[in-house]
Structure 1
């Protein structure tokens, strides 16, 4: 079975879970061809991401000539298919995003379709229901293979109507939701009539890569926060909590791993609260360095305002470290008081209180939280189980495709797929 994975930008330091997922499928005998619309222009810090970048076929980056030539060939050799794709792109543009953007999606889809046919790919899977899924849908409409997508949230649900999520779900062979919350959002924006084609398949880890440290959590006074520095993650509120905690809980320190647009604001808050001696900003680090840092910490903190289900929470729990996080999206399906602390987003007093609980907890309590967390990840977030689920879903979609006679290479996505609200 040969499939394509298509994403917007790859590899990205914060999307290691996609690389792991593809590798797990390959370990089960699935041939995975990697495609991305754009190349990430920030330096990659993990050797496995660097290696994956070399295996990725980029559709848009530096490829304007290739896009235009593919469009001209398609218009000349398959004008009816090209017209169907152009019509759908125009209908999607009417729901939001503009004509220029969707004209680009059409060019990308034509080029992508030629790649799929050249490599004999039977199915396309996309992560996130945004622009890359639009490309897969348009390619499908022009006679390409079936496609599916994994929805994560939160941003894709904020623009669901203008991005044509209902159309994309109607045209897909199936959709994957990473949590029950995410499934509810797909039903909300995509239509309850598709409930039987939405599978909940939670992101997974290979626990053999996450070996808990011999050092008990109770012996550490380091808290760690890992993630892109951005408003959604809420790291800008941590310096105030640290300033409050230093009055009664010192000594301790907070390490922030990651980078992003919120870094200047975080640095300003650190200076304003006078906690530069307690907070260290390390920037992006390799997966191995992140694992080692979390494994030696007392706990991980992630005070997010908007999330899907953060992989770093899984990683910390797999390393038997408790987590302090917020009641956002799918997080409560993973975290409760038995493996950490979970507080309302934006509640500074609650966040400070939760961190105080962790700093004051005895070693036995922290160890029990860690064991509970790792057991929960093993039960619900096993990477091998995720790969098996996806492999079976791909195989079923390909089998259904083969059972339906589609004359002249045409593919239909159903009337609903073409009916985008204007």
Structure 2
């Protein structure tokens, strides 16, 4: 079975979960062809990401002549299919986003369609329901293979109507939601009539890569925060929390790993609160370095305002480190006080209290949280189970291919697939 994985930009430092997912499928005998619309504009730091970039076929970046040639060939060989694609692109444009953007999606889809046929690809899977899913849908309408997508949130649900989520879901063989919260958002914005084609399949980890440290968490006075520095992650609240704790708690420090548009605001808050001696910004790091930093920490903190379900929370729990995070989206399906602390987003006092609890917790309490967290990840977020689920869904979609009306997009999955959950 050969499938295509299509994403908007790849690889990026914050999407290692997609790389892991593809590798797990390949370990189960699925041939995965990697496609992306664009290259990431920043340098990659992880050797595995760098290797994956070399295997990725880029549709838009540096390929304007290829896009034009593909459109001309499509017009010459199958103008009716091109017309169907153009009609659908126009329909999506009326929802929002503009004609120019969707004309670009049409060009990208014609190029992608030729690549799919050339490589004998039987199904396309997309991560996130935004522009890359539009490309897969248009390619499907022009006669390409079935497609599916994984929805994560939060941003894709903010623009669900203008991005035509309902149309994308109607044409998909199935959709994957990474949590029950995410499934509810797909039903809300995509339509409850598609409930039978939405499967809950939680993001996964290979636990063999996340070996807990023999050093007890209580021996560390370092808190670590990992993620893109952006408004959604709420890191701008951390300097004030650190300042509130420094006068009452034994010495501790906070390490932020990641980078992004909020870095100047975070640096300004560090200076305003006078905690430059307690907070270190390390920028992007390799996956191996991130694992080592979490393993050496007392706990991971992620005070997010908006999320899907952050992979770094899985990683910390798998390493038997407690987490301090917020009651956002799918996070409460993973985290409770048995494996950390969970507080309302934006509640600075609650965040300070949660961090104080972790800083004062004894070894037995921290160890119990760690064991509970790892057991929870093993039960619900095993990467092999995710790959098995996806492989079955792909195979079912391919098997049904002869029964699907491409133009109407009447692809679906059975109820048993929709109810599959890790």
Q: Which secondary structure does the structure 2 equivalent of 1:342 belong to?
A: strand
- The yes-or-no answer on 1:401 pairing with 2:401 is yes
- Following the alignment from structure 1 to structure 2, what is the Cα–Cα distance between the partners of residues 305 and 97? 25
Point out where structure 2 has 5 or more consecutive residues left out of the alignment. Answer: 413-422
User: In structure 2, what is the equivalent of residue 68 of structure 1?
Assistant: 68
1:138-189 deviation digits (Å, cap 9, x = unpaired): 0000000000000000000000000000000000000000000000000000
Q: Which secondary structure does the structure 2 equivalent of 1:306 belong to?
A: coil
- The yes-or-no answer on 1:99 pairing with 2:95 is no
* Displacement over 2 Å in runs of 4+: none
Say if 2:174 and 2:411, in contact at 8 Å, map to a contact too: no
Q: Which secondary structure does the structure 2 equivalent of 1:228 belong to?
A: coil
- Following the alignment from structure 2 to structure 1, what is the Cα–Cα distance between the partners of residues 135 and 215? 48
Say if 1:153 and 1:308, in contact at 8 Å, map to a contact too: yes
User: In structure 2, what is the equivalent of residue 167 of structure 1?
Assistant: 167
Q: TM-score, normalised by structure 2?
A: 0.97
- Following the alignment from structure 2 to structure 1, what is the Cα–Cα distance between the partners of residues 98 and 9? 21
- Following the alignment from structure 2 to structure 1, what is the Cα–Cα distance between the partners of residues 304 and 75? 47
User: In structure 2, what is the equivalent of residue 54 of structure 1?
Assistant: 54
1:32-67 deviation digits (Å, cap 9, x = unpaired): 000000000101000000000000000000000000
User: In structure 1, what is the equivalent of residue 409 of structure 2?
Assistant: 413
User: In structure 2, what is the equivalent of residue 20 of structure 1?
Assistant: 20
- Following the alignment from structure 1 to structure 2, what is the Cα–Cα distance between the partners of residues 47 and 414? 41
Say if 1:24 and 1:383, in contact at 8 Å, map to a contact too: yes
- The yes-or-no answer on 1:228 pairing with 2:232 is no
The structural deviation recorded for 1:405 is 7.5
Say if 1:205 and 1:382, in contact at 8 Å, map to a contact too: yes
The structural deviation recorded for 1:300 is 0.1
- Following the alignment from structure 2 to structure 1, what is the Cα–Cα distance between the partners of residues 265 and 275? 14
- Following the alignment from structure 2 to structure 1, what is the Cα–Cα distance between the partners of residues 408 and 195? 20
The structural deviation recorded for 1:113 is 0.1
User: In structure 2, what is the equivalent of residue 420 of structure 1?
Assistant: none
Point out where structure 1 has 5 or more consecutive residues left out of the alignment. Answer: 417-422
The structural deviation recorded for 1:250 is 2.9
Count of residue pairs brought into register by the alignment: 412
- Following the alignment from structure 2 to structure 1, what is the Cα–Cα distance between the partners of residues 249 and 211? 29
Q: Which secondary structure does the structure 2 equivalent of 1:91 belong to?
A: helix
- Following the alignment from structure 2 to structure 1, what is the Cα–Cα distance between the partners of residues 85 and 384? 37
- The yes-or-no answer on 1:365 pairing with 2:361 is no
Say if 2:172 and 2:411, in contact at 8 Å, map to a contact too: no
User: In structure 1, what is the equivalent of residue 186 of structure 2?
Assistant: 186
- Following the alignment from structure 1 to structure 2, what is the Cα–Cα distance between the partners of residues 338 and 129? 33
- Following the alignment from structure 2 to structure 1, what is the Cα–Cα distance between the partners of residues 314 and 331? 10
1:99-132 deviation digits (Å, cap 9, x = unpaired): 0000000000000000000000000000000000
Say if 1:144 and 1:411, in contact at 8 Å, map to a contact too: no
The structural deviation recorded for 1:412 is 3.9
Q: Which secondary structure does the structure 2 equivalent of 1:249 belong to?
A: coil
User: In structure 2, what is the equivalent of residue 89 of structure 1?
Assistant: 89
Q: TM-score, normalised by structure 1?
A: 0.97
Matching of residues 18-417 of structure 1 within 5 Å: 18-402=18-402, 404=403, 411-414=407-410
Classify 1:415/1:391 alpha carbon distance in 2 versus 1 (closer, same or farther; 3 Å): closer
Classify 1:277/1:405 alpha carbon distance in 2 versus 1 (closer, same or farther; 3 Å): closer
- Following the alignment from structure 2 to structure 1, what is the Cα–Cα distance between the partners of residues 3 and 404? 20
CA RMSD, aligned part only?
A: 1.1
